[in-house]
Chains A and B, each alone.
Chain A
């Protein structure tokens, strides 16, 4: 089955700097790669996603890149702000089920003012 690895587990940056989180996946059949942000005591919330027929997608300060050959994808946050502080999860669509997303273990991002 699908396995998703996420790095780093923690990331601390200064306000205004960029943050990059990287994920790798194992199942070449996976075709959908969302990123979720989870604040303390809340459920995860989708911030951006990418499908396997696209190499890069951008939404304001957030961008995601996908390398299907290497089976890795990355989240880039530019001009970070204190409110970006949260836990970020990458995920990949499970090959066997349309309802099954496989999540990474998360990256705790701290943005220091």
Chain B
């Protein structure tokens, strides 16, 4: 079956621009997670959705970052006024039920964002 799909796979933008990254989770998975991975680092938690609502957004670095999941399936991570420090791979993951601490996170291949 299809895994977690993320688009675009690569995005190059200029400082100050607005960016949207899309995640299509595994069908039937109710929980969805966004992580950010900088070069040479482990994934860093950003936000977690249970259905349509953000159950935990404590990892979002500032108010330039926002994510939505309006129908409880596809999610979009939105970054306003991008900065060079936002350059990273943005990973999306999903799980069948709500908790990352009870079982496997199924990751997509990520969206690589480069801010010039």
Residues in A lying within 8 Å of B, measured CB to CB: 4, 6, 31-32, 34, 36, 41-46, 49, 89, 91, 93-94, 96-106
B42–A103 CB distance below 8 A: yes
B4–A99 CB distance below 8 A: no
9 A-B pairs in the complex with CB atoms less than 8 angstroms apart: A34-B104, A36-B105, A43-B110, A49-B103, A93-B101, A98-B56, A99-B33, A100-B59, A101-B45
B93 to chain A, nearest CB (A): 7
Contact residues in A for B56 (Cβ distance below 8 Å): 96-100
B44–A100 CB distance below 8 A: no
Interface set, chain B 86-116, CB cutoff 8 A to A = 91, 93, 98-105, 107-110
User: Given contacts A104-B42, A106-B40, are A98 and B98 in contact (CB under 8 A)?
Assistant: yes
A99–B45 CB distance below 8 A: yes
Residues in B lying within 8 Å of A, measured CB to CB: 4, 31, 33, 40-45, 48, 50, 55-56, 58-59, 91, 93, 98-105, 107-110
Contact residues in A for B99 (Cβ distance below 8 Å): 98-99
B98–A105 CB distance below 8 A: no
A32–B101 CB distance below 8 A: yes
Docked Cα-Cα span, A34 to B100, in Å, equals 10
B100–A100 CB distance below 8 A: yes
Contact residues in B for A104 (Cβ distance below 8 Å): 42
User: Given contacts A32-B101, A44-B43, are A99 and B107 in contact (CB under 8 A)?
Assistant: no
Docked Cα-Cα span, A99 to B105, in Å, equals 10
In the complex, residue of chain A having the shortest beta-carbon distance to the beta carbon of B103: A49
B100–A98 CB distance below 8 A: yes
B58–A97 CB distance below 8 A: yes
A53 to chain B, nearest CB (A): 13
A106–B105 CB distance below 8 A: no
B45–A94 CB distance below 8 A: yes
